[in-house]
Amino acid sequence: MAADALFRPFSHKSLHLKNRIVMAPMTRSFSPHGVPPSEVATYYRRRAEGEVGLILSEGTVVDRPAAKNDPNVPHFHGEQALAGWKRVIDEVHAAGGRMAPQLWHVGSARNPLTKWVAPPPVDSPSGLSSPGKRFTEPMTDSAIADTIAAFGRAAADAKRLGFDSVEIHGAHGYLIDQFFWAGVNERTDVYGGATLAQRTRFAVDVVKSIRAAVGEDFVIILRLSQWKQQDFNVKLAQTPQEMAAWLTPLVDAGVDILHCSQRRFWEPEFEGSELNFAGWAKKLTGKPTITVGSVGLSGEFIETLAKGAGSKPASIDNLLRRLEREEFDLVAVGRALISDPQWARKVREGRDSELAAFDREALATLV
């Protein structure tokens, strides 16, 4: 099947993309002391040269003491880190690419790959690492206010440095998602509550802080997931009605594009319809959406990372049919773009036999 649908331009507000391919945000941990070195700029430039429409950076953390859970994750604050990011965006632009940093705070999610721990206090809604596991105090009101302000400052810096958009990491069981999730948000103030709509308040305040910092025309992307790294079976929204109650306050607060994280893009979100998460999010909000999850590869990413199971190239026909039907607008590609910076160009030119497999050994170097 011809991949034309992936190569139509996309525009929203001030964001203009040459095609529908988005590089998914992927932590690489090659930024000692939080400062992205020139190798990181080269890595992203290569994906721009390879015709990726929009590059989302690896998660890069806002200015809170325990925003990261790995010492080599980049910061998005401080003079040196921001100078590193300036080099990244300048190189990406020189190669004709567009890019948004993914603004991140890990909350209470630990990193199983390192013994390193961030200086306290750990920020989390109720001091729980997963349901029933209390290990620290809930965030204070001033910690919440400072975190919301830190997201706003990072977004202002992104715009000032010349980035084309920002993405907020609200998925996968990290800080923002911890507020959505009743299992770890037991707060009884305005940031908690029995309904998912009530538990959107923290994210809503983050979005408003960012909107106030970047103005109306700058595109804000929000990444969400039903699943949590702490529990793949969690579903925040059990029905389309619950999903609408979750997404509507976020969109009303200023989100422009919803990035709907699934591990396998073809999995239906609710019974009785083939629509996936991005399909439902678009239908319910009318906003553009990004789909993601095992695009062009045979296996999903957590298994590849945890068990070392390799993933082989796989057909994207199902994806193309959904894109043709306009179920979603953009398509994020993760591991396939780690293996091969030229993935997008090869797909456009129909060079299917040259597409590469993904092996977790590829994470050892930044190519």
Ligand X SMILES: Cc1cc2nc3c(=O)[nH]c(=O)nc-3n(C[C@H](O)[C@H](O)[C@H](O)COP(=O)(O)O)c2cc1C
Residues forming the active site: 174
Minimum CB distance to ligand X smaller for 3 or for 171: 171
Distance CA 357, CA 106 (A): 30
Q: Which residue is nearest to ligand X (CB)?
A: 334
Minimum CB distance to ligand X smaller for 26 or for 245: 26
Minimum CB distance to ligand X smaller for 5 or for 192: 5
- In the complex, least distance from residue 311 CB atom to ligand X, rounded to whole angstroms: 8
- In the complex, least distance from residue 301 CB atom to ligand X, rounded to whole angstroms: 4
Contacts of 267 (CB under 8 A, 6+ apart): 276, 293
Interface residue list for ligand X (CB under 6 A): 24-27, 58-59, 102, 169, 171-172, 223, 261, 292-295, 297, 300-301, 305, 333-336, 363
- In the complex, least distance from residue 26 CB atom to ligand X, rounded to whole angstroms: 4
- In the complex, least distance from residue 60 CB atom to ligand X, rounded to whole angstroms: 8
Secondary structure (H, E, C), the chain: CCCHHHHCCEEECCEEECCCEEECCCCCCCCHHHCCCHHHHHHHHHHHHCCCCEEEEEEEECCCCCCCCCCCCCECCCHHHHHHHHHHHHHHHHCCCCEEEEEECCCCCCCCCCCCCCCCCCCCCCCEEECCEECCCCCCHHHHHHHHHHHHHHHHHHHHHCCCEEEEECCECCHHHHHHCCCCCCCCCCCCCCCCCHHHHHHHHHHHHHHHHHCCCCEEEEEEECCECCECCCCCCCCHHHHHHHHHHHHHHCCCEEEEECCCCCCCCCCCCCCCHHHHHHHHHCCCEEEECCCCECCCHHHHHHHCCCECECCCHHHHHHHHCCCCCEEEECHHHHHCCCHHHHHHCCCHHHCCCECHHHHHCCC
Minimum CB distance to ligand X smaller for 100 or for 284: 100
- In the complex, least distance from residue 62 CB atom to ligand X, rounded to whole angstroms: 13
Distance CA 28, CA 71 (A): 11
Minimum CB distance to ligand X smaller for 143 or for 363: 363
Minimum CB distance to ligand X smaller for 187 or for 335: 335
Whether the ω angle into residue 121 lies within 30 degrees of 0, i.e. cis, is yes
- In the complex, least distance from residue 59 CB atom to ligand X, rounded to whole angstroms: 3
- In the complex, least distance from residue 140 CB atom to ligand X, rounded to whole angstroms: 27
